[in-house]
Amino acid sequence: MKFGILINEGPFTHQASDSAYRFAEAVLARGHEIYRVFFYNDGVYNCNKLSEPQSDDRNLVALWSKLGTENGIDLVVCIAAALRRGIKDEVVAEGFRISGLGQLVEAGIEADRLVVFGD
Amino acid sequence: MNSMLHLINKSPFERTALDSCLRVAKAGSSILLIEDGVYAALKNAAHAIKISTRMEDFSFYVLGPDVAARGLGDTPLIEGITVVDYEGFVDLVAEHEVTQSWL
Amino acid sequence: MEEWEESGPEVVKRFMYVNRRAPYGTIYALECLEVVLIAAAFDQDVSVVFLDDGVCQLKKNQDTTAIGMKNFSRTYGALDDYDVEKIYVEKESLEARGLTADDLVIPVEVIAADDLRDVMAQQDVVISS
């Protein structure tokens, strides 16, 4: 089964990205496919490679980047939400790409399930 | 009619997500409590009646890792709520045709 | 040959966008509206529902001059131009806030929770913000 995931919050203020990450790992562990992860609202901050959490804390930017590159998961950051928040190509971590909102709608069409994580 | 899984990630003490879900969700749906939503699953808490009186209408689940993280692993949960892990969460999403998050 | 025979049957899914938040206090209302306007271009079956504080997004007479934020309440009027015609407002939420359909910036279908329940259960994809 193909899963789509929408993340509406950044990596620190809310648990949303953590929950989505654990969920994504479990999707793969259960033998399903992740069609796309779409980052919207403050969720666009999940791709910011300039982010430096303390060394004893998890680093969600790095975790998503690794999960995406190792499993070929399409990690898409919304361009409209990103530009507003100063997220541009030069700060985007490996494995993420910036694209339009249409990618979210397309994920809804193409995936068998879409799960939203937010505040 | 599509079978639905409803996700509640808010404490019933702070937000109305659970109330709204219980008002609008169709009987026969499933409801999974995650993140701060797990506080709605506590047997001895003030909001327990909201769920305990609707056991006939809905199947209730709670995400175990979020229960444990909040120090509630040894706290009684409402009888009839099923504890699942993240893979169980995935299975619930797969088993229902649509998932709705009550953000 | 009919046009549809050339292009083949297209998958049309029922998308519902759920708004449960008031405007301005957070950005969710504005960014959800942006999604709906994009989604309208995809030839899918689009519904938008407003419940809880989400009904406040549609209140008439919004004036953001003194708070300096963009007043996007007029943009809801564009939904009709984009052929988004299924716009539902939950009756209970509206009444709880002392509002009626006359207080809203666009014509909507005011729907009781009992009926909204059936509309929601018919969707294929539910996007909340």
Predicted pLDDT of residue C1: 41
Residue C72's pLDDT band (boundaries 50, 70, 90)?
very high
Q: Which of residues 20 through 49 in chain B touch C, CB cutoff 8 A?
A: 20, 23-26, 29
pLDDT above 60 (res C126) = yes
User: Can you tell me the distance from the alpha carbon of C112 to that of C114, in angstroms, rounded to the nearest whole number?
Assistant: 5
According to CATH, the topology of domain B4-101 is Hypothetical Protein Ychn; Chain: A, (3.40.1260)
* Interface contact flag, B86 A114, Cβ < 8 Å: no
CATH number, domain with residue C31: 3.40.1260.10
Kindly list the domain boundaries of chain B, sorted by start residue: 4-101
Instruction: Tell me which residues of chain A have a pLDDT lower than 70.
Output: none
For testing contact with chain B, the best of C117, C118, C122 (most B CBs within 10 A): C117
Predicted pLDDT of residue A4: 98
The H-or-E segment that residue A65 falls in is: helix A60-71
Residue C8's pLDDT band (boundaries 50, 70, 90)?
very low
Q: How many domains does chain A have?
A: 1
User: Considering only CB atoms, which chain B residues are within 8 Å of C121?
Assistant: 1-2, 4, 26, 29
For testing contact with chain A, the best of C38, C45, C53, C124 (most A CBs within 10 A): C38
pLDDT above 70 (res B6) = yes
* Interface contact flag, C11 A100, Cβ < 8 Å: no
User: Can you tell me the distance from the alpha carbon of B6 to that of B10, in angstroms, rounded to the nearest whole number?
Assistant: 12
Average pLDDT over residues B49-76: 97
User: Considering only CB atoms, which chain C residues are within 8 Å of B17?
Assistant: 20
Predicted pLDDT of residue B2: 86
Provide the 3-class DSSP secondary structure of residue B92. Answer: helix
Average pLDDT over residues C65-93: 97
Predicted pLDDT of residue B71: 98
Predicted pLDDT of residue C129: 86
Query: Residue B74's CB: how many other CB atoms inside 10 A?
Result: 7
In chain C, the percentage of residues whose pLDDT exceeds 70 is 92
Mean pLDDT of chain A: 97
Q: How many domains does chain C have?
A: 1
- Domain with A31 in it: 2-117
Predicted pLDDT of residue C2: 45
* Interface contact flag, B99 A27, Cβ < 8 Å: no
Predicted pLDDT of residue A38: 98
Average pLDDT over residues B76-88: 98
**Strand pairing category for B30-33 and A113-117:** unpaired
CATH number, domain with residue A13: 3.40.1260.10
Predicted pLDDT of residue B43: 98
Neighbouring chains of A at 3+ CB pairs under 8 Å are B, C
In this complex, is the C-beta atom of A49 within 8 Å of any C-beta atom belonging to chain B?
A: no
Which is nearest to B38 in space by CA: B57, B58, B56, B12? B12
Predicted pLDDT of residue B42: 98
Torsion angle defined by CA atoms of residues A4, B88, A44 and C44, in that order, rounded to the nearest 10 degrees: 30
Return phi, psi of residue A4, to 5°.
Answer: -115, 145
